[in-house]
Amino acid sequence: MIGTKAYTELFRVVRKNNYQLMLAGDEKQLALIERGGIFEMLSNIFDLHVLTDIRRQSENLIREVAMKFADSNILSGITLLKQNNCVNFDNTLRGLNE
């Protein structure tokens, strides 16, 4: 994410040159410490298109887990990993170096 000052300069250049602008980002990511949150504000004002198809992960299981995590269904994603023997939970230190 970029801060308010950078957005202000970007908008100034766009307006001055009569450019069109398309922004892409993730409003769920944390805003910068400087005055921020402008991306989320802009997404509430202008047309918003949400991409929901994950293409980066090639394996179906990993793609499904990523979708669950993206939808904040963390427990469901971890359960999928556990069911497919991708993670192991142990309350002891046994097997820590494996």
- What are 66-77's pLDDT values in tens digits? 889 888 899 999
Residue 98 maps to a domain:
no
Residue 74 maps to a domain:
yes
pLDDT at 85 over 60: yes
Range of the domain at 35: 4-45
Confidence of residue 91 (pLDDT cuts 50, 70, 90): low
Length of the chain: 98
In angstroms, the CA 21 to CA 87 distance is 43
Residues 23 and 41 placed together within one structural domain of the fold: yes
Other CB atoms closer than 10 Å to residue 38's CB: what's the count?
A: 19
Confidence of residue 94 (pLDDT cuts 50, 70, 90): low
Which phi-psi region, left, alpha or beta, contains residue 72 (left: φ > 0; alpha: ψ -120 to 50)?
A: left
Cα–Cα nearest to 51, from 76, 74, 70, 77:
70
Confidence of residue 12 (pLDDT cuts 50, 70, 90): very high
pTM (2 decimals)? Answer: 0.47
Residues 36 and 59 placed together within one structural domain of the fold: no
Residue 61 maps to a domain:
yes
